[in-house]
A and B are shown apart, each in its own frame.
Chain A
């Protein structure tokens, strides 16, 4: 039997519902409480975009895959959306989904090569594709991509509209909720069961008539698509895009967020992104530059060793520890 709680998150049903409501409440009210604090709003927008991105990356791990090169999809989504939006004059609200489509198209090509590979091979090939795509962007496609200088991207909401940043923020939150709900329903369906079967034991899954290649490819496509959407959202928020977007950092961030929150759970990437963003921006306000990378690295190593299921397993772990101590006292 596959425990659905495991794939969807940890904790009782009531606790989970409470958590979701609290999180949504905070997401809606936080910018209103602090008024039009531009710094806070910028941090929140980036955080929500990275929640979409990390959740999409994490979607791969349900089938036992991983990727070190998701920046390829993040960046492609951004480029495609920026180019289409400035060439056709369409609203970025439409072109972000075209950007996702471009990322998914390339994802299909990469996926066909990758789904048969395992662990290290997969990691290397995905990493390599991010570098190959960056190279193509600055050499062969430099005419349309602007080379190393990059290109400008229209804003999600034109700045002539009052409170445009607030509108942007709420629409990005809405997209994030939609993406996570979609992942929830996919994982609750038969497809989610097939994912778990492939992850736990591929040979048995095959024997039960599940085609691992088909499902892995599906997971890869969905993951690439929404990574592309997240990338498009980010560049329409920033207003420009350069090939730096294909960098190693952009590939590693969703991994760090997902691991620190908890791999293979819906809540993990959300909790992880919020937690790391807080630490990251907190350290920045202390004026630390290199040291904050060192601290994030140390945190990652400690979480992998001592909390292999991520931060969302922390309450259970504390409960277990307290329970043991109580027994000793008795």
Chain B
């Protein structure tokens, strides 16, 4: 096989696009982990719900699906808050395995409830730009990919400004740095938990919407694999580190697409875990994580 520089740039673009989805998921997971010190393994199910809610709006109204993101986001945030309040708060501090187990319960509930509501057949959303491809320096760049990258960057900038400039964002950062200290300073840490989970769910929902608008087919079981990959990215980037999540997400997206090119499509899912295992053998706390315990 001839590997030309054009092909490499093309794969990089695919990787960048896949990386955006992973970054949104991983950032949400990291935000939740930072504040609550729990891992939500059912994060992929929120991605799936985001996709389906946008799909429903799209089927009803026929608007541009990118615009509908603004409508499905608040619903996802609300779902996130409800999940935090009913499932994760009662088990907070009861052992790390419990959150994994409760996530398994959530995965079963959400996946199959979605299958009952929307049936389990494969669905698609057609982007109004699906036939527009920009040609830059001899490589094909679908317009959808460009919109997704820009949307992801804007979401991350808004999140950054929220965390750095607003009182609420500062309170959230304080909670993730020192929960007891934040409590003593009069911060309602339980409200911060709800907020973090809500934002995390919103980011997952945005990832789901962008994923399906770009032409991916989806069904109620589509969320699990992207979610475990996002979790692997979180581990590689270091638990609780948002810059780590962004860099990890990019590396991941690109590595995955190169693996498909060289090893074949069957390795798409397995390669991510091979990367994860290699990283954990060398550095048991992740690349950017100082200490996970």
Chain A residues packing against B (C-beta within 8 Å): 61, 66, 68, 113, 116-121, 123-125, 127-129, 131-132, 134-136, 138-139, 248, 252, 255-256, 259, 263, 290-291, 293-294, 296-301, 304-305, 308
**Which residues from chain B contact A124 at a C-beta distance below 8 Å?**
228, 231-232, 235, 273, 276
**A125 in complex: contacting residue of B108, B116, B280, CB < 8 Å:** B280
Looking at B102, B108, B115, the one whose CB has the most chain A CB atoms below 10 A away is B108
| B293 interfacial by beta-carbon distance below 8 Å | yes
**Given A125-B276, A293-B111, A300-B105 contact (CB < 8 Å):** yes
Measured in the bound complex, the distance between the Cα atoms of B106 and A256 in whole Å is: 12
Q: Which residue from chain A places its CB closest to the CB of B225 in the assembled complex?
A: A131
Find out whether the CB atom of B109 lies under 8 angstroms from the CB atom of A66.
Answer: no
Find out whether the CB atom of A305 lies under 8 angstroms from the CB atom of B91.
Answer: yes
Find out whether the CB atom of B109 lies under 8 angstroms from the CB atom of A297.
Answer: yes
Q: Which residue from chain A places its CB closest to the CB of B275 in the assembled complex?
A: A128
| B90 interfacial by beta-carbon distance below 8 Å | yes
| B104 interfacial by beta-carbon distance below 8 Å | yes
Write the B260-293 contact mask toward A (1 if CB under 8 angstroms, else 0): 0000101101101110110011001000000011
Find out whether the CB atom of A119 lies under 8 angstroms from the CB atom of B97.
Answer: yes
CB distance from B9 to the nearest CB of A (A): 28
**Which residues from chain B contact A256 at a C-beta distance below 8 Å?**
104
CB distance from A164 to the nearest CB of B (A): 35
CB distance from A275 to the nearest CB of B (A): 15
Instruction: Classify the interface of chain B: helix, strand, loop or mixed.
Output: helix
| B113 interfacial by beta-carbon distance below 8 Å | yes
| B39 interfacial by beta-carbon distance below 8 Å | yes
Find out whether the CB atom of A139 lies under 8 angstroms from the CB atom of B101.
Answer: no
Find out whether the CB atom of A293 lies under 8 angstroms from the CB atom of B112.
Answer: yes
**Given A66-B97, A293-B112, A294-B113, A135-B102 contact (CB < 8 Å):** no
Find out whether the CB atom of B224 lies under 8 angstroms from the CB atom of A248.
Answer: yes
Find out whether the CB atom of B90 lies under 8 angstroms from the CB atom of A290.
Answer: no
Q: Which residue from chain B places its CB closest to the CB of A256 in the assembled complex?
A: B104
With A293-B108, A296-B108 already in contact, 19 other A-B pairs whose C-beta atoms are closer than 8 Å? A61-B97, A113-B281, A116-B284, A119-B97, A121-B292, A123-B41, A123-B100, A128-B228, A128-B273, A128-B276, A129-B273, A134-B270, A139-B266, A290-B120, A291-B112, A294-B113, A297-B107, A300-B105, A305-B90
Measured in the bound complex, the distance between the Cα atoms of B116 and A134 in whole Å is: 29
Sorted from nearest, which 6 A-B pairs have the closest CB atoms? A128-B273, A297-B108, A300-B105, A297-B109, A135-B270, A293-B112
CB distance from B187 to the nearest CB of A (A): 26
| B140 interfacial by beta-carbon distance below 8 Å | no
| B98 interfacial by beta-carbon distance below 8 Å | yes
Measured in the bound complex, the distance between the Cα atoms of B108 and A325 in whole Å is: 36
Find out whether the CB atom of A68 lies under 8 angstroms from the CB atom of B100.
Answer: yes
Find out whether the CB atom of A301 lies under 8 angstroms from the CB atom of B235.
Answer: no
Q: Which residue from chain A places its CB closest to the CB of B109 in the assembled complex?
A: A297
Measured in the bound complex, the distance between the Cα atoms of B39 and A120 in whole Å is: 8
Find out whether the CB atom of A304 lies under 8 angstroms from the CB atom of B101.
Answer: yes
Find out whether the CB atom of A294 lies under 8 angstroms from the CB atom of B100.
Answer: no
Measured in the bound complex, the distance between the Cα atoms of B96 and A267 in whole Å is: 23
**Which residues from chain A contact B39 at a C-beta distance below 8 Å?**
120
**A135 in complex: contacting residue of B90, B269, B277, CB < 8 Å:** B269
CB distance from B221 to the nearest CB of A (A): 9
Measured in the bound complex, the distance between the Cα atoms of B232 and A290 in whole Å is: 29
CB distance from B88 to the nearest CB of A (A): 10
Find out whether the CB atom of A139 lies under 8 angstroms from the CB atom of B228.
Answer: no
**Given A120-B235, A139-B267, A293-B111, A304-B105 contact (CB < 8 Å):** yes
**Given A121-B284, A252-B104, A290-B116, A113-B109 contact (CB < 8 Å):** no
**B102 in complex: contacting residue of A139, A252, A291, A304, CB < 8 Å:** A304
**Given A125-B277, A301-B87, A259-B101 contact (CB < 8 Å):** yes
